[in-house]
Copies of this chain bind each other. A is one copy, B any other.
Amino acid sequence: MAALVPFSLLRNYSPFMLARPFVVVKACNLNFSKSVVLPLPCRRLPFSTRAAHDEQAAAKAAAATADSGAPTIFDKIINKEIPSSIVYEDEKVLAFRDINPQAPVHVLVIPKLRNGLTELAKAEGRHGEILGQLLYAAKIVAEKEGILDGFRVVINSGPTACQSVYHLHLHVLGGRQMNWPPG
């Protein structure tokens, strides 16, 4: 059954997550909204349902097999072996919604062919074309999602940046006020 569950759900139900009651995570967000002198944006953060600590743990676990060359959950999404909510697709690029969104709009943009791009740190000159296509696709996604007036693109490379799947992916986030610093 696990193979039918999109990756974000798998991450949500990691052993680490189960060891940290959900209410604690929610409480963190409430405290955050009270203390950071940003009441409006923070009150609009029902999308932040997982503590950063969980994300860091997931990223550390993922990094252990980063260079193995093994397929990731994204291969199953590309091959339509597991379902995803596709926002945009062309010959080179696939964009689908993150199931654990951190904003009203949260879409992942990936190259269909990984071709060595497990992470941005592995980019070489030969990747220039696909890197440009990915960034342009992020704009197309923003347009399709109606957030062209305000959106953030984020790329995490490596465990300390919270990368949890070793297939290069761009996060496109919008639909709420984004804060600073960016995590």
Contact = CB atoms under 8 A, between A and B. Distances in A.
Contacts of A36: 28, 31-32, 51-52
A177 B63 CA distance: 14
Contacts of A136: 123, 125, 127-128, 131
B102 A121 contact: no
Number of copies: 2
Contact of A150 (B34, B37, B158): B158
Contact of A157 (B151, B162, B176): B151
A84 interface: no
A182 B180 contact: no
Interface bracket on A: 35 or more
Given A129-B128, A160-B177, A182-B154, A121 B135 contact: no
A10 interface: no
A143 to B, nearest CB: 8
A77 B33 CA distance: 37
A123 B139 contact: yes
Contacts of A82: none
Interface of A: 24, 28, 31-32, 34-38, 41, 45, 47-48, 50-53, 55-56, 102-103, 120-121, 123, 125, 127-136, 138-139, 142-143, 148-162, 171, 173-174, 176-183
16 contacts: A38-B52, A38-B53, A47-B181, A52-B179, A52-B180, A102-B180, A120-B135, A121-B139, A131-B131, A131-B132, A138-B155, A150-B160, A152-B182, A153-B157, A162-B180, A179-B183
